[in-house]
Amino acid sequence: MGDRRKGNEEYKVEKKFPWDRFWLSVFKILTVLYGASCLYLYLNQAVQPLDYDNRYFQSDLPYHISMIVDDGWYYSFTAYAYQLLYLLAGKSTWLIALLLAVVSVGTVLLTEKLLQRLTDCKERNSFTLGGAMMLNMVMPFFLEWAGRYRYVSYQSGNLWHNSTYLCMRLFAVASILIYLKIEENYREKIDIGQWIGFAVLLVLTTGIKPSFLTVFAPAMALKLLWDLCHKVPFKQIFIFGCSVLPACGVVLWQNMVLFGEETGQGFAWNPWFTFSLHADRPKAAVLCSLAFPLVVAVFSVKELIKDKKYFFAWLIAGIGFLEALLLAETGSRSNDGNFLWGYCFAIFYLFVLSFVKWMEFRKQEKHKTVYRVSFWLAGAVFLYQLYCGVYFFIRLLGGETYFMLM
């Protein structure tokens, strides 16, 4: 009788449905569909006429292509890639669209690697891939009272209309991954291969768009200064800090191209100007853009002190916010909101860290009821922001402008 019962129990265990494998397969399919959808979107964006009044599949991509193909003018490393792909495709744009689709899927996969590193997860599972997929789709908490436009009234780490941001974000996530590896052990030893890789990635990221470096470098400088005050050897801090210098040289070149005397462009101190361009209530729109991270932070205040990675993400976001808050371009690009790009990536990275913190709420042993409520509350906010992103993306696939209302 005992043997029969034992056999029944083993049979039940064997028959247990492999939910993780099932959901992993689902998210793999969704990743492929996402890549195909992005390819369709970018193919349509790339062939639109250079007409600011055209709202059909509106994006910056035709202008980015035209700058190098027609005008021979560039400030971004993407221009070299676009020119080569344009010629290889027989003066067509389909290879450029394919590149951007690969970049979009690549960002999902690198986000998964980032989640694996932050959670000490050795292998891919439904949480890492599904989380990465969702984190590449979430958008601001849309509230018409704060801003009528689903995207431009707010700030988002995810968008699909600016090719240089898309490429920059891919390399920025890669840079963060190597930074985290070096940061773990740099107090005793710095691996020269990792140091070179980090410096090269920063150069590439900055060459594509300088926005990441403008929020990351100040945060890294403050972090290293803190370490110096806490008895980390100056030699180690100096070597680690020097990895940023080659990328700073790229910024100087870009500054001459974009803000040279002959361009008529510049930047000035102009508080709240950028945030107020399209928002009805800019302060509320800022809060809506950070809804999920803010809810998580309310229940993770102690973690800001204990968890250095989590604090660093908020530090980058704070620097990005201050840059966007206080600075604005002058000249013909004054209404383009270009000081938002660094903040947009900071929001993306902050969402990743907040997502990890949110999942930890389920493991809390103390104050279980509080953390259970906070888990479901933050989850509801995250799901709504995910809905906002999916809804926005689907409408983009229908040809709508990223200036879409409601």
Q: What is the predicted pLDDT for the residue at 5? A: 54
Q: What is the predicted pLDDT for the residue at 35? A: 98
| Sequence-distant (≥ 6) Cβ neighbours of residue 192 within 8 angstroms | none
Taking only the tens place, the pLDDT of each residue in 301-348 is: 888 889 999 999 999 999 999 999 999 998 888 888 999 999 999 999
Residue type, 122: K
Q: What is the span of the domain harbouring residue 83?
A: 2-397
Q: Look at residue 403 and tell me if it is in a domain.
A: no
The span from the CA of 169 to the CA of 396, in Å, is 20
Residue 102 has pLDDT above 60, yes or no: yes
Taking only the tens place, the pLDDT of each residue in 132-142 is: 999 999 999 99
Confidence of residue 259 (pLDDT cuts 50, 70, 90): confident
Q: Look at residue 406 and tell me if it is in a domain.
A: no
Buried b (16+ CB within 10 A) or exposed e, 33-55: ebbebbbebbbbbbebeeeeeee
Half-sphere exposure of residue 393: CA atoms within 13 angstroms, side-chain side: 26
Query: 110, exposed or middle or buried, with CB in 10 Å at 0-12, 13-18, 19+?
Result: buried
Helix (H) or strand (E) holding 123: none
CA dist list (Å): 99 to 31, 203, 305, 381: 16, 20, 40, 33
The span from the CA of 399 to the CA of 44, in Å, is 8
User: Helix, strand, or coil here: 325?
Assistant: helix
Mean pLDDT in residue range 375-392: 97
Q: Look at residue 404 and tell me if it is in a domain.
A: no
Q: Look at residue 187 and tell me if it is in a domain.
A: yes
Q: Look at residue 310 and tell me if it is in a domain.
A: yes
CA dist list (Å): 334 to 147, 209, 214, 281, 331: 20, 18, 19, 20, 6
Q: What is the predicted pLDDT for the residue at 233? A: 96
Residue type, 146: A
pTM: 0.94
Domain count, the chain: 1
Residue 1 has pLDDT above 60, yes or no: no
Mean pLDDT in residue range 182-198: 96
Residue 401 has pLDDT above 60, yes or no: yes
Min mean pLDDT across 3-7, 100-104, 209-213, 239-243 is at: 3-7
Helix (H) or strand (E) holding 404: none
Mean pLDDT in residue range 235-246: 97
Q: What is the predicted pLDDT for the residue at 11? A: 46
Q: Look at residue 37 and tell me if it is in a domain.
A: yes
* Angle 285-289-295 from CA coordinates, rounded to 5°: 115
Q: Look at residue 201 and tell me if it is in a domain.
A: yes
Beta-ladder partners of 354: none
Q: Look at residue 288 and tell me if it is in a domain.
A: yes
Mean pLDDT in residue range 237-244: 97
